Amino acid sequence: MVSAALSMILAVSVLSGCTGSGAQAGSAQAQSTQAASAQAQSTQAASAQAQSTQAASAQAGTGSAAGGEVSVLLPEWSDPGEEAIASFEKQSGIKVNLNIMGWDQIHDKVTIAAASKESAADVLEVDWSWAKEFITAGVVDPITLTDAEKKTFPLYTAFDVGGQISAIPYMTDYKVGYYNTEHFEKAGITKAPETWDELIADCKKIKDAGVCKYPMAFTLSATEGNATQFLWLTLARTGAVFNADNSLQQANLQDSFSFISKALKDEIIDPAAISMQDTEVDKLFKNGDASFIIASTTFMETANNAEESKVVGKVAPMLIPGNKDIKSATFGLPEGLGISKNSTNKANAKAFIDWYLSVDTQISNFGKQGALPSNMDAFKKLGDEKKILGAEVIEQQSDYLTTPFPNGVPSWYSEYTTSAAQYANGMAQGSITPEQAAEKLAEDVKGFNAE
C-alpha cells in the first residue's frame, strides 16, 4: 500500500513538472477577458474568489459552514445514498438538494446554465475531459489545494489545466488490462503477455485452438469510447500522443491505427466491433466471447458480479502491454467535484465536498458503487482490509500513470474525440487507410489549435 502511495506521488511529481509553462499565459489572458465580459458578475466573482480560498484554507471538517443549503449535481453512480446524505445534513446543518442526472445530460445542463451565467448547482460533477472546458467557459472556480491535500489526492493532476485546478477527484479510474484465465489455460498460455507482439501471438494461439473466435475486445464504432482507446494504445506503443505545442504526433497515431487495422484483418477483433459501443464490447468479454480487454479499474468488480457476468472467477488483471522501450502505460480518467462559479453557496459547497472526500464517505461509496476512492488514505485502508479485487496488479499499473496531454486536456477535446472516432471508424470500415486517418486527424488538430 505504501508503495502504491509512493508511486502515485512519483507520478504526480513527474506530471506536475510537465504541466504549466506555455498554457499558463494563455489561460491567464482568457481569465482576464472573461472577467471583463462578466458584466455585473465581476465584483461578485472577486468576492467569491476570496470566499473560496478562505474556505479552502479551512482545515478538514465542516466547522465554518452552519445552516443554509447546497445543491449538488451528480451522475447516478456517484450517489452517496440517502442515509449518508442524512448524516451529513445532521452533522453540518446544511440542507442538501441532490440532483441526479445522466452523465451526458449533466454536461448539456451545465453548458446551458453557463451560457446564461447561471449556476446549474453549487457542487458539480466534473469529468476529467471537461476539466479545461469548465474553467474556460466559466463554469467552475479554480480550486486551491494545500500541499497536504495534493498528497492525499494525487489524481488532482488530471484536473490541473495550466496551473488552475478545476476540480478535486472523487474516484480513481484508469485503464488496466484484463484477460480471461480460462481461455489462456485452454490455449496453453502460461503467462500474461508483456508486449503487444506477444499479445497478438497469444490471441492467434487462442483463435487457432478454437477457444475464442475473436479474442481481442476493442470498439471501433464512431463513439467517444473509441477515441480514448487510441489514447492509451498510443501511449503504450509509442509514447506520445500530443506534442508540447498541442499538435498531434501523427506518426505515433498512424502506428496505432495500422496496428488495429491489421488486427481487424487478421480477425482477432470482431468485425462487428464497427457498430459496437464500449459498453457492448465490455459485455462481450463478460459473456466469455473475448479473451482480452483493456478497461477501467472498476471492471474487475463487475466482471466478478454473478448478476452481470458469465466469467466470474475467470478474470485476472494484467499490465497494459508495452514494447521494447515502454514497459507499460496508462492514464487516469477520474471524475471530480467542482464548485460552480456562479454559485451563491460556495462555503457550503466546499463543506459538502470535504465531507464527500473524507475517508469514511469514500469507503462507504466504494461499498455501494465499487468506485475506487481517490483519497489515498481511504485507498490504503481498503487495501489493508483486502477489499479490492486484483489489488496488486491494479496498484502496479498505477506506477505507469502518464498523460497524453502535456498541457492538460485542451478545451477542444470534445471535437477531437468526434474526429478521432470518425476516422478510426472509417479506417475500420476500409474507406480510408491508416495513413490517411492519421493525416486527417493531424490536420483537424491543427485546425483546432489555430482557432
Partner 1 sequence: MMNRKRGNKWGMLGYTLMVLFFLFWTIGPIVWSFMISITPKTDTMISPAPLFPAHSTWKNYQQLLAGVLTPGKVNQEARMFKIGMTNSLVSCLLVIVVGSPVCLLAAYALSRLRFRGKKMIHALLLATLVIPLFSVIVPIYKIYSDLGLINNYFGLMLVYISAFMPLTVWLLCSHFESLPIDLEEAAKLDGCRPMQILLHILLPISYPVLFAGALIMFISTWNQFLIPLILSPTNSTKPIAVIISEFVTKNTVNYGLMNAGGLLAVIPPVIIAIIFRRFLISGLTAGAIKG
Partner 2 sequence: MRKNKSSYFYILPLALIMFGLIYIPVIITLVYSVVNLNLLKPAALTFVGLKNYIRLLKDPDIWTAAVNSTTITVIVLILTVLLGLAFALMLFKNTRIKGILTGLVIIPWAMPGIVNGIIWRWMFHPSFGLINSILQKLNMIHVPVQWFSGRWNVLMVVSLSVAWKCIPLAAVIFLAALQSIPEELYESAAIDGSGAFDKLRYITLPMLRPSFVIVLTTTAITAINVVDEIVSLVGMASANNTLMTEIYLRTFKYMRFSEGSALSWLVMIVCTVIGVIYIRNVNKKAGVYDE
For residues 349-388, which are near partner 2 according to CB under 8 A?
none
DSSP state letters, 317-360: EEPPPB-SS-S--B-B--EEEEEBTT-S-HHHHHHHHHHHTSHH
436 binds partner 2 (CB under 8 A): no
Stretch that binds partner 2, among 177-185, 236-244, 380-388, 424-432 (CB under 8 A): 424-432
- Using CA atoms, how far residue 202 sits from 100, 188, 235, 265, 322, in Å, is 43, 9, 21, 16, 15
Stretch that binds partner 2, among 28-36, 146-154, 301-309, 356-364 (CB under 8 A): 28-36
Shortest approach of partner 1 to residue 168 CB, angstroms?
18
52 binds partner 2 (CB under 8 A): no
Give, rounded to a whole angstrom, the gap between the first and last alpha carbons of the chain: 45
For residues 14-73, which are near partner 1 according to CB under 8 A?
73
* CB nearer partner 1, residue 372 or residue 441: 372
Nearest to 375 by CA among 391, 356, 394: 356
Question: How far is Cα 373 from Cα 387, in angstroms, rounded to an integer?
Answer: 12
Question: How far is Cα 245 from Cα 405, in angstroms, rounded to an integer?
Answer: 10
The binder of 75, among partner 1, partner 2, none, by C-beta within 5 to 8 A per type, is: partner 1
**Helix H or strand E encompassing 178:** strand 175-180
Q: Which of 172, 219, 296, 375 binds partner 1 (CB under 8 A)?
A: 296
Question: How far is Cα 427 from Cα 436, in angstroms, rounded to an integer?
Answer: 8
298 binds partner 1 (CB under 8 A): yes
* Cβ neighbour number for residue 338 with a 10 Å cutoff: 27
Q: Which of 65, 114, 165, 248 binds partner 2 (CB under 8 A)?
A: 114
96 with 88: CB under 8 angstroms? yes
For residues 138-167, which are near partner 2 according to CB under 8 A?
138
The binder of 221, among partner 1, partner 2, none, by C-beta within 5 to 8 A per type, is: partner 2
The binder of 247, among partner 2, partner 1, none, by C-beta within 5 to 8 A per type, is: none
Shortest approach of partner 1 to residue 142 CB, angstroms?
24
DSSP state letters, 240-259: -SB-TTS-B-HHHHHHHHHH
By the criterion CB under 8 A, which residues form the site for partner 2? 30, 33-34, 36-37, 107-108, 111-112, 114-115, 133, 136-138, 221-223, 270-272, 274-277, 411-412, 414-415, 418, 421-422, 425-426, 429, 451
